[in-house]
Structure 1
């Protein structure tokens, strides 16, 4: 942990709003998860992270990937597939990919996180990546096309400013909402039990990816039809954005509760 923390000091001046869900979104997801941890998981997380929390470590992998020793982690934040795949085709395609991506690295880091043969530092680093990647794969544009860099090359104008489809969903809508991660964590943590159980029933992360993939397909079509959306874009998509953040937090808690039971 000390190596990670010392390495991150040099990154304080980097522009943070280029990341999936931005700082506020990732930290909201970590905060939601903290509200739903079992006591056993809470103790294990505290043992691994020390004075840090799921909320605070949730953004670290985006900082780490700019360091030379973590440069190979950039592809760990997304999954690329062609559009137009049906559910079973998509699942098969994702599971067949052998190059490092958000799906296979998430599975690997979950395994490392609960491996008693790993050192405490290794398990803590694995936990940090699990927290972050669960958030990433719930952002629709992190499960999309390679040819436009996950929507980064889809130019748009929103609220009078030049942006792109990926950035709009990383932070543009969250910024418009105007809530801090603490406020989101408090408000979004309240989920009806039946809905929470329904979300957690989809235990295979490939299913979470397919949800994002389906939404990304919709967002691509909308952007092609109207690259300069007006004030109606936010209210039309606010519930989707909120639900993806809620689902990420609830499912992250389920992953940790299962791993540390």
Structure 2
């Protein structure tokens, strides 16, 4: 009976709508693999004690896969923090300071606080660590800090590269632009993961408010680029945005390593 449930869950995962994913499977694994490369030995050992043989790259997709189980529906709003208008950095800092809703920002703070507790159960440690890894990666996908009205670009319908099957702006940033590179996640990491110690220190020193501000500013540029359009050329879009996307993947991985090293290192 257990094997049947596992099989049915796997089938459900295969047919999840792409727009429900964040970064897509490869995007999350790329961020996770980058983070893994910058862990301290102490943090690596602590994470292994919690996750066992499940790598950061592989566990980073758990929060999307578990959407197949209705018992975890309450986690869906943990993946993003939408903004109704373009903000200056001081405006965003003020907004986040007053934020009491359930969103990526408030839940990151919650998860970090919980994982610092010495008496946390093993079950909670696994759940909270999986969610923290995923959310840190999520907020570096610009459409996870986008507009409430169009569900982070999910309602911005587009045709991608003359594909007859319609898609949306969110999905393009989750998966299609990454998949266009035709690289495995390890090949992708080998391509983009080149940082100096100084660069990593600067990225990891930035507060979460700056992460969200950077992503939301990019989201505004992404919206502006498709305004009035109903289709985009993959080749032209790749030329314009692949550098931005790769930078966000790299930032997500480096900053995730910083968070994990602070917690466990």
Normalising by structure 1, report the TM-score: 0.92
**Counterparts of residues 212-223 of structure 1 (less than 5 Å):** 212-223=215-226
Measured in 2, the distance between the counterparts of 1:8 and 1:241 equals 34
Structure 2 runs not aligned, ≥5 long: none
Measured in 1, the distance between the counterparts of 2:192 and 2:110 equals 28
How many residue pairs match? The answer is 255
Measured in 1, the distance between the counterparts of 2:142 and 2:38 equals 23
2:264 aligns with 260
Contact 2:84 2:149 in 1 (8 A): no
Normalising by structure 2, report the TM-score: 0.91
Contact 1:83 1:217 in 2 (8 A): no
**Counterparts of residues 28-177 of structure 1 (less than 5 Å):** 28-161=30-163, 162-177=166-181
Deviations 1:5-54 (A, max 9, x none): x9876421223543111000001111111100000000001000011110
Measured in 1, the distance between the counterparts of 2:174 and 2:213 equals 18
Measured in 1, the distance between the counterparts of 2:86 and 2:123 equals 41
Could you say what secondary structure the match of 2:167 adopts?
Answer: strand
Q: CA deviation at 1:90?
A: 1.6
2:187 to 183, 190, 201: 183
Measured in 2, the distance between the counterparts of 1:244 and 1:20 equals 13
2:245 aligns with 241
Q: CA deviation at 1:58?
A: 0.3
Structure 1 runs not aligned, ≥5 long: 1-5
Measured in 2, the distance between the counterparts of 1:146 and 1:66 equals 23
Measured in 1, the distance between the counterparts of 2:259 and 2:43 equals 10
